[in-house]
Every structure is written in structure tokens, then in C-alpha cells.
Amino acid sequence: MERMAGTGNNRPERAAWESFLEEAFAGGARCRELRLSEEELAFVRERYPGARAEHAASPVYADGKAWYNVTLQSKELSR
């Protein structure tokens, strides 16, 4: 799944990132494999405090991103 790069404090970028996460977990999906930077992972944890993010068996790529299995709690799906 392709997504927006960077979260930043820039309001349009943040809105795009929130939209990406809503789309990724649409339809009641609780678990997704996402390729994230440290900054993006921090944003996921901020947005979904109860989320579990486990590093998948993959390297950290040259761009600093790695694959994570991200699982939301049921109550977070309605956010």
C-alpha cells in the first residue's frame, strides 16, 4: 500500500497522513502492515495510543523506513 510521505507539523501534511491512516484501517481492519519512518511510527502511536506496532522481519531501508505490523484496539477503530 502506497502512502503519503512525512507527517511533519505542517497542517496539510498532517491532514494527509490522518487521511491515509483512516483509509488504511477502513472497513474495520484492525491490523495492517505499514512501511514507516520513526517519525511516522511516532505519529501512529500519538493518533492511536493503544496501538501495537511490532517491527516485521525486514531490514531498515536506506530511507530510514521499515515494515511494522500495526494493530489497533477495537475501540480505536471508531476514531
Tell me the DSSP string of 56-76: -S-PPPTTS-EEEEEE--GGG
Q: Yes or no: say if 18 and 47 are a contact pair by the CB < 8 Å rule.
A: yes
**Side-chain-facing half-sphere of 55: CA atoms under 13 Å:** 9
The Cα–Cα gap between 74 and 51 comes to 10
* Distance between start and end Cα atoms, the chain: 21
- The pLDDT score that the predictor gives to residue 36 is 93
- pTM reported for the whole predicted model: 0.74
Amino acid at 72: L
Confidence of residue 29 (pLDDT cuts 50, 70, 90): confident
Question: Average pLDDT of 9-30?
Answer: 83
